[in-house]
Amino acid sequence: MKRYFARKLFIYMLTFFFAVTIDWLIPRFMPGNPVQNLLARAALRAEAAEVMYGYFTRAFGLDVPIWQQYLNFWNALFHGDLGISVYLFPQPVIKIIMRAVPYDIFLLLPAVLLSWIAGNKFGAFAA
């Protein structure tokens, strides 16, 4: 029984590791530069854009080597820091997620209740 749980725990941890790694890799394989996209929305003059490019590159941690970015990502993740939103700069990602939680719960509760009622009705009908 211990081997079974140890094996399951290992599989879950491995799956978590690969899922988080893929989540980290996706933005790095996307075409374009998130800092340039952010500056394009701001419509700055050329001189200001160069200064802001350096600022945002440092703010998002893109000025360090890729392996250091990966280690920084894991460190921040284990400390509960999801970072700063690129799209809604300078808002923390956790605030954006927390704003959406009530709407998610509002959709989740009726869906769970409706599926429970329908499942019990169909199950009783089938029996």
For the chain, which residues make up each domain, given as ranges?
92-127
pLDDT of 46 reads 76
pTM exceeding the 0.75 threshold for the entire prediction: no
Distance in angstroms (rounded) separating the CA atoms of residues 34 and 40: 10
**DSSP designation for 80:** T
Confidence band (pLDDT; 50, 70, 90) for 6? very high
pLDDT tens readout for residues 74-123: 999 999 888 888 777 788 889 999 999 999 999 999 999 999 999 999 99
The rounded distance, in Å, linking the Cα atoms of 109 and 29 is 37
Helices (H), 43-92: 46-59, 66-78
Structure confidence by residue, pLDDT tens digits, 36-56: 777 777 777 777 778 888 888
Question: Could you give the maximum distance between any two Cα atoms of the chain, in Å?
Answer: 74
Q: Given CA atoms 28, 77, 73, 21 in this order, what sign does their dihedral have? A: negative
